[in-house]
Amino acid sequence: MPRPGTLWNHSSPRATSSRLNIMRRIFITATDTDAGKTYVTASLLRALISAGNKVIGLKPVASGREGAAISPDVAALLKAQCLPDSTAANINLYNFGAALAPSQAAAEEGQSIDPQALLGWCKERSKGYDISLIEGVGGLMVPLTDDYLVADWLNDMPDCEILLVVRARLGGINHALLTIDKLNRMGRPPRWIVINDGDNVGEDMLARHQQALAKAGELIIVPHGMACHLPNLILD
């Protein structure tokens, strides 16, 4: 495993491990919206696929397509897997137009999310793959329905390992510690914590986040625009 605070960048070694002999499901969640879940998930997909692993990246719930056929997040994961937009239904179950919490975005269209259908779909779509990357939506407390949160969704998939993406910024440490506390109280501590410099805040801010979160889990530091080689944290 990478050491706490491992720096992943364009000079980091590519994954060289052979295909896995076990099936793994990894749930990617974050401290908030735009923390970098899709960026990290897409980077993992590209590297794991290039290493010869049979991988699928799922974005089961997406909102904010704003008139387009699919959301930008779904489009990014399709591109990372070299899949055409026409296959979006293979990686995305719920696709809403408004850039709102899923429960509200669904209501805008007279729809609703069925938690049991969501769970069954995730399980079915993961079959036959070495690794399934399941990207959540927003943070843990985002409502999928009026009484079903992302945290409930995660809790209903006990086999999933958890990767938490933290956006390095002012206030980011507080958001990270609150999210980690929630996961710990759920009995689901994060397996990996990726500190992402999506806003180009620089080395000092990254170092402060690293210091504050050093005891929380396996830390991976991602400088601005350099989340290219993250796979060894999963393959090792």
127 counts as catalytic: no
Q: How far is residue 100's CA from residue 121's CA, in Å, rounded to a whole number? A: 22
Sign of the torsion angle spanned by Cα atoms 145, 132, 89, 118: negative
The total of other beta-carbon atoms located within 10 Å of residue 73's CB is 23
Number of neighbouring beta carbons within 10 Å of residue 183: 20
Question: Strands of 55-58's sheet, edge to edge?
Answer: 6-7, 218-222, 192-196, 161-167, 24-30, 131-135, 55-58
Give the torsion through C-alpha atoms of 40, 96, 85, 32, to 10 deg: -10
Q: Is 209 exposed, middle or buried (0-12, 13-18, 19+ CB in 10 A)?
A: buried
Of 59, 127, 182, 215, which one is the catalytic site residue? 59
> Are the C-beta atoms of residues 153 and 79 closer than 8 Å to each other?
no
User: How many other CB atoms are there within 10 angstroms of residue 32's CB atom?
Assistant: 20
Catalytic residues: 59
